[in-house]
Structure 1
Amino acid sequence: MSGGGIGGGTDGIGGTGSTDGTGGIGRRQLAGYALGSVGTGIHSTVPGLLLLYFMTDALGVPAGVAGLVVALPKAWDALFNPTVGAASDREALRTGRRTRILLAGALALPVAFAAMFLSPLTGSGAAAWVAVTFVLASSAFALFQVPYVALPAEMSDRPGERTRIMVWRIVCLTVGILVAGGLAPAVVSLAGDGRRGYAVMGAVVAVLLLATLLVPALGSRRVPARPGPEPLGLRAALRTARGNRAFFALLGAFVLQAAAVAIMLAAAPYTATYWLGGYGLTSVLFVCLVAPSAVAVPLWGRAAARWGRLRCLGAATVLFVLASAALWPAAGTGAARVTATLVLCALLGVAYAALQVLPLSLLPDTVHADAARTGRLQSGAFTGLWTAGETAGLAAGPGLFSLALAAAGFASSTTDHPVAQTATARAGVLLGFSLVPALLMLASLPALRAYGRRRAATPAVVVDSPAGEIS
């Protein structure tokens, strides 16, 4: 990127060279901002996929303790993120930019991430090491992520341009998720598995994080900040949102679905190791889960335009239930179990695309309905609650899976002293990869039906007509 690049000269994000000849933001500037989502996708994926397995099978941390360690930073996020948001707005008011907090996160996160996989200890000492470094990494991630999400509104006043920004960002986020799930387990295997393999993987991912996060952090120097009201804390947001029953029904369904996906993600390396013949299949499982979603997103968009968003979300949920339940017999028996498992994972990826996109498309309806009810458009409060719910679901997934492992008698081990698992423990692994996610998805269907009833009873809410048009 010559001529100053992103964040320098006249080609920085939002700078004087940021147009494409039609008054819009140029592709170089869009790419410079969106590149940060490759990094956020990588960091959001790797711990959920590998950290629990790293602790139980390389560091000898008991499964129940490891689950608490994975859940702890998510609880911290719910408290820390609103604080970072308020600090980012204060910096924007004082300096006219959000750069310093962004840059602090971009520099601190790679170091803390690499440290998570460098524990010199095993057992309880390793649990403490990972807990501290994971909280530090989550805090650094918040320093980057919170102001990063605020930038699109400040890069352009035009809704169409902000949509372009988000499209680029979602594409890069998908790339980051795919890179994380495909590359990280492969690097562990290529580097010799065990603690050494995870240490090498942590260093490689740290370099990728630094490269992808620094570009938008430096580019933010060219974006004049226009801070809005300070973000609300969790308690204040709950007070603001009470009475909006449609929102809480949709949120309840979303949290259950996020927990189901998170459990399956945490169980993937265990299933590859103890049921499919080797840890190396973790990358293949993950790619089969995620890659189809990139293709399916536009297809679900067309289907939603024809049959309605809520109807399509319900269909995707049922598809996820059926495919994940079918993993129990498919992965457990038969010579073709690997092929059958990968095919079912591809179907899950198709359903996962809708579970990502459609709830977010329904969320603004509940916000505008609340504005009609209260006379105030308080999107910040609802977005804060939504993010907190997503965080809770993603934390509950690995936590529930670790408790299931502990209840099934799963024996933790170190690289130097592997432990053979009992049939009951192996069954617990497969349950966490198949039937438990299916049950959680099934439990989200009554909440979706409740959302549909409450949405239909609220005239101000945008609804999908039977013909598929948005009325």
Structure 2
Amino acid sequence: MVNSAHVSAGAVGDRLPAGTRFGYALGSLSCGAFGTVPGLLLLPYLTDTLAVSASVAGLLVLLPKAWDVVFNPIAGRISDRAGTRRPFLLGGGIALAITFAALFAGPTTSSPTTGGLYVAAMFLLCATAFAFYQVPYNALPAELVQDPTERTRLTAWRISVLAVAILASGAGAPALRDAIGGTTGYRVMGIAVGVLILLGAIGVYVGTARAPRARVLPSVTTWRETFAAVRDCRPFRWLLGAFVIQAVGIGTMLAGVDYLARVVLEDRGAQSLLFAAFVGPALLVMPAWQRVSARHGKRIGYVAATLVFAAGALGLLAADVLPLAAVVACAAIVGVGYAGIQVFPLAMLPDVISAEERRTGQLRAGLFAGVWTAGETLGLALGPALYGLVLAAGGYVSSAGQDVTQPGGAAVAVVLGIALVPALFALAGLALLRRRVVEVSY
């Protein structure tokens, strides 16, 4: 059974208007804020404010995100059938902003169980709202423009704004939390990040208002058709697999920044500095990665970026003996690679979608974007969960906001979790980037 749905074709020629590119990129403010802050602060919030054990905290962060594995493809099919993406961007963004502010505004309680369950419930609502926002957002590039080079340019704009969002929220959220302190600090931080999410949703809604709508294609409507569509598109499956595996490593690294600053470097202020070093290079190296793409292809660029990311991560293994400047330099190398492993797969995704739509004559943008978002969300959630297990294995001691002396094994676990684990997952993704599979559509 198929259903007809409109597809926005965007620019008829090879280039989008600058206003449309910028308007679309503004949506990354929401994606960057929600994709960064929970991975950075939710685990410490649970372990060091609500006194939830590290292993349980990791599970509480994971389970609401696991829901997205089921729900994101549903959100994609819903947006396909709706015939327009923009209302989802606005409605989902508003809901996400509200639920995110509520995530860190729970009732004050001495019970780790009560606090943990509240966080898990609110995080589930956040994940649901985010699905209705990010799935249509990821589907838009395949519909806005057909030229692969212009898609890379559009994605580069998106990643540049994403870097600004990650930098602002990743460095600003911990600084705001620490400046105010305690549970009040977390609550004020949650509201501030919620405002940033709202601005991104409004920005992309307004910025893409003039993007024209065009052709009509049939869309899948059942789970059987969904599984068949993913099964039959080998380039999508392999590209998704590489991206998800690497997302686990990125999620693990984000979860470890707070612990590295506090436990190993013994400098809370270093958290914002490390995060700025991690994200800041994306603003500078994005043109360079675009040139790599134009000269050598997206797959080669993806491989090169992965190797750079892994090299920087492995350098952090010596964080306990290196001076702070050297640790920051390693984080900056990670950031150079991180920029590439974000831009290249997101630029390759619409190419795969368009090729499959031409092959099948059916709409795939929302469906594949839903599955993609589900995989990304699961990967980023598995990262903190895995990091929580590493901390637990090292004997990390949770607390209710008090400073406690950590055993030596905890410091080792902090370093291994932020350095070795992300490097291994990044390199594991390379095995899936086979030319005959991934580049068949380019």
Question: Does the CA-based 8 Å contact 2:298-2:348 persist in structure 1?
Answer: yes
- Worse-matched range after superposition: 64-73 or 157-166: 157-166
Among 270, 274, 277, the residue aligned to 2:266: 277
Question: Does the CA-based 8 Å contact 1:154-1:224 persist in structure 2?
Answer: no
Determine whether 1:319 maps to 2:343: no
Q: Residue 228 of structure 1: CA displacement?
A: 5.2
Question: Does the CA-based 8 Å contact 1:237-1:384 persist in structure 2?
Answer: no
Q: Which residue of 2 aligns with 1:56?
A: 47
One-letter amino acid of the counterpart of residue 93, structure 2 = A
One-letter amino acid of the counterpart of residue 80, structure 1 = F
Q: Residue 149 of structure 1: CA displacement?
A: 4.7
Among 363, 370, 376, the residue aligned to 1:390: 376
Determine which structure has more spread, i.e. the larger CA radius of gyration. Answer: 1
Determine whether 1:195 maps to 2:183: yes
Give the direction of change, closer, same or farther, for the CA distance of 1:437–1:100 in structure 2 (3 Å limit).
Answer: closer
Q: Which residue of 1 aligns with 2:38?
A: 47
Give the direction of change, closer, same or farther, for the CA distance of 1:165–1:369 in structure 2 (3 Å limit).
Answer: closer
Q: Residue 183 of structure 1: CA displacement?
A: 1.0
Q: CA separation in 2, counterparts of 1:36 and 1:54?
A: 27
One-letter amino acid of the counterpart of residue 389, structure 1 = G
Question: Does the CA-based 8 Å contact 1:410-1:421 persist in structure 2?
Answer: yes
Determine whether 1:211 maps to 2:210: no
Give the direction of change, closer, same or farther, for the CA distance of 1:368–1:267 in structure 2 (3 Å limit).
Answer: same
Q: CA separation in 2, counterparts of 1:34 and 1:189?
A: 30
Q: Residue 190 of structure 1: CA displacement?
A: 1.2
Alpha-carbon deviations, 1:185-232, whole Å to 9, x = none?
A: 11111112x322111111222223333323444677776766754466
Q: CA separation in 2, counterparts of 1:455 and 1:154?
A: 21
Matched ranges for 1:35-184 at <5 A: 35-89=26-80, 91-92=82-83, 101-120=88-107, 121=109, 122-149=111-138, 168-184=157-173
One-letter amino acid of the counterpart of residue 243, structure 2 = F
- Worse-matched range after superposition: 66-75 or 81-90: 81-90
Give the direction of change, closer, same or farther, for the CA distance of 1:73–1:235 in structure 2 (3 Å limit).
Answer: farther
Q: CA separation in 2, counterparts of 1:375 and 1:90?
A: 17
Give the direction of change, closer, same or farther, for the CA distance of 1:351–1:235 in structure 2 (3 Å limit).
Answer: farther
Give the direction of change, closer, same or farther, for the CA distance of 1:313–1:79 in structure 2 (3 Å limit).
Answer: same
Q: CA separation in 1, counterparts of 2:143 and 2:429?
A: 36
Q: CA separation in 2, counterparts of 1:154 and 1:246?
A: 19
Q: Residue 63 of structure 1: CA displacement?
A: 1.1
Structure 1 residue runs of 5 or longer lacking an equivalent are: 1-13, 463-471
Give the direction of change, closer, same or farther, for the CA distance of 1:221–1:369 in structure 2 (3 Å limit).
Answer: closer
Determine whether 1:411 maps to 2:402: no
Q: Residue 126 of structure 1: CA displacement?
A: 1.0
Give the direction of change, closer, same or farther, for the CA distance of 1:274–1:99 in structure 2 (3 Å limit).
Answer: same
Q: Which residue of 2 aligns with 1:427?
A: 412
Q: Residue 390 of structure 1: CA displacement?
A: 1.9
Q: CA separation in 2, counterparts of 1:231 and 1:291?
A: 40
Q: CA separation in 2, counterparts of 1:384 and 1:25?
A: 24
Question: Does the CA-based 8 Å contact 1:68-1:399 persist in structure 2?
Answer: yes
Alpha-carbon deviations, 1:332-362, whole Å to 9, x = none?
A: 114x1x1111000111111112211223344
Give the direction of change, closer, same or farther, for the CA distance of 1:219–1:291 in structure 2 (3 Å limit).
Answer: closer
Q: Which residue of 2 aligns with 1:358?
A: 344
Question: Does the CA-based 8 Å contact 1:252-1:444 persist in structure 2?
Answer: yes
- Worse-matched range after superposition: 160-169 or 345-354: 160-169
Q: CA separation in 2, counterparts of 1:223 and 1:438?
A: 40
Q: CA separation in 1, counterparts of 2:330 and 2:44?
A: 23
- Worse-matched range after superposition: 139-148 or 376-385: 376-385
Matched ranges for 1:242-261 at <5 A: 242-261=231-250
Q: CA separation in 2, counterparts of 1:276 and 1:258?
A: 25
Alpha-carbon deviations, 1:364-405, whole Å to 9, x = none?
A: 565577678x65566435444333322222121111111111
Q: CA separation in 2, counterparts of 1:290 and 1:233?
A: 40
Give the direction of change, closer, same or farther, for the CA distance of 1:79–1:228 in structure 2 (3 Å limit).
Answer: farther
Question: Does the CA-based 8 Å contact 2:64-2:127 persist in structure 1?
Answer: yes
Q: Which residue of 2 aligns with 1:268?
A: 257
Alpha-carbon deviations, 1:101-156, whole Å to 9, x = none?
A: 44433332222111111222341111101011111122222333344455667778
Structure 2 residue runs of 5 or longer lacking an equivalent are: 1-7
Question: Does the CA-based 8 Å contact 1:368-1:377 persist in structure 2?
Answer: no
Q: CA separation in 2, counterparts of 1:162 and 1:25?
A: 9
Determine whether 1:439 maps to 2:424: yes
Give the direction of change, closer, same or farther, for the CA distance of 1:43–1:411 in structure 2 (3 Å limit).
Answer: same
Matched ranges for 1:22-37 at <5 A: 31-37=22-28
Q: Report how many residues are paired.
A: 429
Give the direction of change, closer, same or farther, for the CA distance of 1:165–1:231 in structure 2 (3 Å limit).
Answer: farther
- Worse-matched range after superposition: 424-433 or 358-367: 358-367
Q: CA separation in 1, counterparts of 2:81 and 2:429?
A: 39
Question: Does the CA-based 8 Å contact 2:159-2:339 persist in structure 1?
Answer: no
Determine whether 1:346 maps to 2:332: yes
Give the direction of change, closer, same or farther, for the CA distance of 1:309–1:348 in structure 2 (3 Å limit).
Answer: same
Q: Residue 409 of structure 1: CA displacement?
A: 1.7
Question: Does the CA-based 8 Å contact 1:89-1:228 persist in structure 2?
Answer: no
Q: Residue 438 of structure 1: CA displacement?
A: 1.6
Give the direction of change, closer, same or farther, for the CA distance of 1:43–1:233 in structure 2 (3 Å limit).
Answer: farther
TM-score, structure 1 as length reference: 0.79
- Worse-matched range after superposition: 439-448 or 400-409: 439-448
Matched ranges for 1:4-19 at <5 A: none
One-letter amino acid of the counterpart of residue 278, structure 1 = D
Q: Which residue of 1 aligns with 2:4?
A: none
Give the direction of change, closer, same or farther, for the CA distance of 1:410–1:31 in structure 2 (3 Å limit).
Answer: same
Question: Does the CA-based 8 Å contact 2:142-2:354 persist in structure 1?
Answer: no
- The percent of aligned pairs where both chains have the same amino acid is 43
Q: CA separation in 2, counterparts of 1:147 and 1:402?
A: 31
Higher relative contact order (CA 8 A, sep 6+): 2
